[in-house]
Structure 1
Amino acid sequence: MIADYFQFHLNLLKVASNNLLRHAPFNQDELPENEAEFQQQLLQLVADMEQQRGDYIESGQQILARLVRHYPDLVPLVPRDLFWLFGGELLHFMPDDELDIFQQLDELRHEAEAAGEAFNYEQVRARLLDLK
């Protein structure tokens, strides 16, 4: 079950990374130093999370906080789930009702794991977020 949760978020990060890198300013042939550094850090975060290497949670916090501060127009390309996963300062960029939903989702997941019950994270997430 933990593997499913992890894989779900890794997939979200990969999609977000691909989407971000297809948009300006990251889709240019020659990137200014700041954008090139951000791009490299984002790709490294994906690689570290894939390999479960290093402190990818802290790196994720730093990279997404930098995204919010320097590229706010690109923030909608990142699923809110990643803000919740990486936590820290990123939680300040989420409204209370969103925080409540992700908290409830985590509690339900932990309860199911503690009881040894199956838990379909994506299905419960879709229901709580009222996704069709």
Structure 2
Amino acid sequence: MASHLEHHLALLNHLRGILVALGEAEQVLDDSHALFLERYDELLAELPRDPVSSQYLGQDLISQVFHRYPQIAHLVPRDLMWFFGGDCLHFMPDEEIALYQALDERRFEAEENDEPFDWNQEKQLLALPTDSSKH
């Protein structure tokens, strides 16, 4: 089972692939795209070393994706928006924020009790409507 941090690094790498493809498809109008990718790579390198101080860079870069590349905004993993928080939360509806808060609470509870926690599985459980009990 991947750790919480590894899960988000994998999502960041996934999003990086999308950003690179955008550049290759020449859907990027200015040469600052390369600089943006450099900063993105800094985040990928820094996050495993210092997750706490990387939060602000992460918030900044994820928010910039929305402003710079609106055509891929719908492809930004919601988990990343929640993980970095701050300005990223402006792009999430309240119901979604509530779901992630519940998810985090369950994760902390599991960690405190030394129980295994599968982020993706728990997310699916929480996203299910509560009235879908099968008879």
Does the TM-score normalized on the shorter chain lie above 0.5?
A: yes
Q: Report what 2:93 is aligned to.
A: 95
Unaligned stretches of 5+ residues in structure 1: none
Scaled by the length of structure 1, the TM-score of the pair is 0.83
The CA deviation at 1:54 is 7.7
- 3-state SS in 1 of match to 2:44: helix
Residue 22 and residue 50 in structure 1: after superposition, are their counterparts in 2 closer, same or farther (change >3 A)? Answer: farther
Query: Which has the bigger relative contact order, CA under 8 A and spacing at least 6?
Result: 1
1:80-109: per-residue Cα shift (whole Å, max 9, x none)? 100000110111110011101111100000
Alignment equivalent of 2:56, drawn from 46, 52, 58: 58
Does 1:85 find its partner at 2:52? Answer: no
Distance in 2, matches of 1:41 and 1:119, equals 31
Q: Tell me the distance in 1 between the aligned counterparts of 2:99 and 2:61.
A: 24
- Residues of 2 paired with 1:80 and 1:31: CA distance? 26
Of 39, 43, 47, which aligns to 1:49? 47
Instruction: Write out per-residue CA displacement over residues 3-31 of structure 1, whole angstroms, 9 at most, x where no aligned residue.
Output: 711111111111111122112xx224x98
* 8 Å CA contact 1:48, 1:54 repeated in 2: no
Structure number with bigger Rg:
2
Q: CA RMSD in A?
A: 2.2
Structure 2: 5+ residue stretches without partners: 129-135
**Cα contact 1:20–1:77 (8 A) shared by 2:** no
- TM-score (normalised: structure 2): 0.82
- Aligned partner of 2:19 in structure 1 is 20
Count of aligned positions: 126
Do 2:5 and 2:48's aligned partners in 1 also have CA atoms closer than 8 Å? no
